[in-house]
Amino acid sequence: MDIVIDFSSIYNFFNTRPDLLMWRTFLLFGWLPISIAFLWGAKESWLFYIKTQWDKTNKYVLLAVDIPRSNEQTIKAVENLFTYIGGAHKTHTLIEKYWEGQFQIPFSFEIVSIEGYTQFLIRPHVKFRDMVEAAVYSQYPDAEITEVDDYTEGIPDKYPDEVYDIWGCEFIQAKSPVYPIKTYKEFEHQMGPPEAQYKDTMATLMDLCSSLKKGEQFWFQILIKPMGFDWPEEGEKEVKRILKEKLPATFSNRVIDNILGWIERFSEAVYKLWGDIEEKDEKDDALKMMNLKPKEKKKVEAIQNKSSQLGFQFKSRFIYVAKKEIMNKPKVREGFVGYMKQFMDLDLNNLKPDMDITATSADYFFTDYRVKIRKNKIMRAYKGRSTTRGRNMGIMTIEELATLWHFPIEFVVKAPMIQKAPGRKGGPPMQLPIGEEIVSEAMLEPEFIREEANNKNGRKELRGGVAAGNGNNPNKDISPPANLPFA
């Protein structure tokens, strides 16, 4: 029995007028993209709502970290600190993620300078406070950690403001996150004594912070989220792309590849009727490591080195806030951009200010309105330590994070207004001869220790040293800023 396939309905469908054809196509298939977009929007709205509700139940604490005087620890100690923080990573179940709204809790590592006084801060969840303190004390046994109030309180949330003005932005990775920035290991050299062989990049930032005048404030935060061990897969894909190796196909790519494969095989069958087809040399499609150009070889080695380390999701923000009559945007803004440019490697990656979305500046149309909106957004995002506002989070390793946020090496960085722990005091040796004249222990103490002893009343007071060489009065009595209270 013969089988007859009737294509008349298909023929009639495509033989209709173009306007009717478009209308019928929309009625038959147009609901698909609309439904998919609606379902995706409903899912995102639900996740945003339940995450917001769950985040309201979380409590955070702001910790000021004072390193000991004559700190001799290297930046490797801060790497170990971030590695320990990575233990807070948690894999959430479907119920926890899509019903309860749980997400990976972030940590905030901050550097703040208020009127020239500089402080290093860490903001963890209250349940991770012991973890953070253990991480710090394990590397800096003589450090002092004190809970403080939020220094952002007292600064307006809405702009324009009658007294204050701000400039701020997020700093984002210029290229794919699999490419690293220039890290602290590239600032080491073999000249001079061992303690001076590392040229600390923090020196420029500390000098900038110490130069702030009364009424000026500098805020810098790095938000991080611990990650699992699957993120290096993106680096492997980039390495294969550089080597021109075949990448593993996704589901959609596999469907397209199959269709193209059928077309290619059909074309080959047709062309074989007319003559031979030159066979492809598969060996020429893949570049071997030995045949790479120096720049490509550098990229492959850098990506593989980064992929071998513990990774974190990260987001960085910078805000300069000051009273209008003394605000000096070029000094602080360009100074901080210059600090960030120290980590630039044009062959790999760098951190650049996000001028397109988050920076508080605008060009061409409705500039005043757009700048006002951006100022309000970045101030709310900074105060809330938000990981969702602004740009998407990038990826950094412990080595990169330690390069951006670490305690200054005192031998290299001469910043007098950084809060430091006085260090431990030891008793005199038993065999030390004592004269008849009794000198009180208080008279033997340095002045800054006597001041701390007199001021301690269960509440930590911020106090810097004498700011020499930056235009400040050396005889000026430096008191803690009013908007950085300590609990």
Q: How many CB atoms lie within 10 A of CB 154?
A: 13
Q: Of 391, 363, 367, 396, give the one whose Cα is nearest residue 377.
A: 391
* 430 against 112, higher pLDDT: 112
Lowest mean pLDDT among 3-7, 216-220, 458-462: 458-462
Domain boundaries, the chain: 1-57, 60-233+310-421, 234-299
DSSP of 212-239, one letter per residue?
Answer: --TTEEEEEEEEEEE--S-THHHHHHHH
Q: What pLDDT, on the 0 to 100 scale, is given for residue 13? A: 64
Whether the per-residue pLDDT at 414 is higher than 70: the answer is no
Q: What pLDDT, on the 0 to 100 scale, is given for residue 248? A: 64
- Average pLDDT (21-27) is 75
Q: How many CA atoms lie within 13 A of 309 on its CB side?
A: 22
Query: In this structure, what are the phi and psi dihedrals at residue 145, rounded to the nearest 5 degrees?
Result: -120, 125
Whether the per-residue pLDDT at 463 is higher than 90: the answer is no
Q: What pLDDT, on the 0 to 100 scale, is given for residue 245? A: 77
Residue 394 near residue 315, CB atoms below 8 Å: yes
Residue 115 near residue 481, CB atoms below 8 Å: yes
pLDDT tens for residues 49-82? 999 899 989 999 999 999 877 777 788 999 999 9
Lowest mean pLDDT among 34-48, 256-270, 309-323: 256-270
Q: With the C-alpha atoms ordered 151, 153, 155, 160, is the resulting torsion angle positive or negative?
A: positive
Helices and strands, number each (H, E), in the chain: 15, 10
Q: What pLDDT, on the 0 to 100 scale, is given for residue 315? A: 95
Confidence at 203, pLDDT banded by 50, 70, 90: confident
Residue 221 near residue 317, CB atoms below 8 Å: yes
Whether the per-residue pLDDT at 270 is higher than 90: the answer is no
Whether the per-residue pLDDT at 210 is higher than 60: the answer is yes
Residue labelled with tokens 């001079």: 192
Average pLDDT, the chain: 79
Confidence at 130, pLDDT banded by 50, 70, 90: very high
- Average pLDDT (121-141) is 94
Confidence at 19, pLDDT banded by 50, 70, 90: confident
pLDDT tens for residues 337-377? 999 999 999 999 999 999 999 999 988 888 899 999 999 99
Whether the per-residue pLDDT at 252 is higher than 70: the answer is no
Q: What pLDDT, on the 0 to 100 scale, is given for residue 462? A: 43
Q: With the C-alpha atoms ordered 169, 173, 175, 181, is the resulting torsion angle positive or negative?
A: positive
SS3 content of the chain, % helix, strand, coil (to 5): 40, 15, 45
Q: At 62, is the secondary structure helix, strand, or coil?
A: strand
Strand partners, 172: 352
Q: What pLDDT, on the 0 to 100 scale, is given for residue 21? A: 74
Confidence at 460, pLDDT banded by 50, 70, 90: very low
Residue 111 near residue 319, CB atoms below 8 Å: no
Lowest mean pLDDT among 34-43, 120-129, 213-222, 244-253: 244-253
∠ CA 352-357-358, nearest 5°, is 70
What are the angstrom distances between the C-alpha of 38 and each of 125, 131, 468?
Answer: 35, 42, 62
pTM score, whole prediction: 0.75
Alpha carbons 404 and 397: distance in angstroms, whole number: 11
Q: What pLDDT, on the 0 to 100 scale, is given for residue 456? A: 42
Alpha carbons 421 and 444: distance in angstroms, whole number: 18
Encoded tokens for 164: 């204050």
Confidence at 486, pLDDT banded by 50, 70, 90: very low
* 330 against 16, higher pLDDT: 330
Q: Length of the chain in residues, anyone?
A: 487
Strand partners, 111: 120, 220
> Is the previous residue joined to 106 through a cis bond, with omega within 30 degrees of 0?
no
Residue 444 near residue 96, CB atoms below 8 Å: no
Q: What percent of the chain has pLDDT over 90?
A: 47
Lowest mean pLDDT among 207-211, 254-258, 339-343: 254-258
